[in-house]
């Protein structure tokens, strides 16, 4: 049976946690407390998509391979514009974000034939958002038995394919999927 311990005094602490960020301030926005995300830095870097593992660019969103994937083929779909929350998306961004997410699911099914997929968003640092200042959708192919003792005992994921290979396979298949 689940036990509950009432400690309402912790509310002040919980509400104050996460109020600072360790990244750099946004350029050109004096007085703002928002930070430049790693995704914005990648987009502004001028580094070719092949090297950054961007697999698709749309009008308002793009798709990139997660540099720290949970499984082979783990994609992130996100707007070019750095925003933290879904409700900040324009209508065009929202429509393209979800259409591109659906297309990413189709591509991963074609390329990897997974047993299932996880599609999700972590909004805010407490929800698990490691880059909480730039909303992004995770699209993760899954297979029965794809997590094993390595993650539980050694805090290590085993990935059978190099990230550059994954990105190229997805990039090639992107336009072949209806």
Residue 10 lies in a domain: no
Residue 6 lies in a domain: no
Structural domain range at position 82: 23-174
Residue 5 lies in a domain: no
> Which CATH number goes with the domain that contains 82?
3.30.428.10
Q: What is the pLDDT of residue 126?
A: 80
- Our answer to whether residue 103 is catalytic in this structure is no
Of the candidates 56, 74, 134, 136, the residue annotated as catalytic is: 136
Residue 90 lies in a domain: yes
Residue 76 lies in a domain: yes
Number of domains making up the chain? 1
Residue 8 lies in a domain: no
For 79-117, b where at least 16 C-beta lie within 10 A, e where not — what string? beebbbeeeebeeebbebbeebbebbbebbeebbebeeb
Q: What is the pLDDT of residue 131?
A: 87
Residue by residue, pLDDT tens for the chain (178 residues) are 555 544 444 444 444 444 434 444 555 555 555 689 999 999 999 999 999 999 999 999 999 999 988 889 999 999 999 999 999 999 999 999 999 999 999 999 999 999 999 999 998 888 776 788 999 999 999 988 766 444 444 454 557 788 999 999 999 999 998 8
Residue 127 lies in a domain: yes
Residue 130 lies in a domain: yes
The predicted model scores a pTM of 0.77
Q: What is the pLDDT of residue 70?
A: 85
């Amino acid at each position: 049976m689940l036990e509950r311990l009432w400690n309402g005094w912790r509310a002040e602490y919980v509400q104050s946690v996460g109020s600072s960020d360790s990244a750099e301030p946004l350029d050109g926005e004096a007085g703002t407390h928002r930070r430049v995300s790693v995704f914005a830095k990648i987009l502004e870097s001028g580094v070719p998509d092949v090297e950054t593992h961007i697999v698709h660019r749309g009008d308002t969103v793009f798709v990139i391979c997660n540099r720290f994937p949970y499984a082979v083929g783990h994609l992130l779909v996100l707007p070019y514009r750095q925003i933290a929350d879904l409700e900040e998306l324009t209508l065009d961004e929202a429509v393209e974000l979800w259409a591109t997410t659906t297309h990413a699911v189709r591509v991963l099914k074609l390329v990897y034939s997974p047993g299932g997929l996880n599609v999700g968003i972590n909004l805010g640092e407490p929800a698990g958002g490691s880059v909480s200042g730039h909303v992004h959708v995770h699209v993760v192919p899954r297979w029965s038995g794809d997590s094993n003792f390595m993650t539980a005992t050694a805090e290590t994921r085993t990935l059978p394919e190099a990230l550059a290979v994954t990105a190229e396979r997805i990039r090639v298949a992107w336009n072949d999927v209806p």
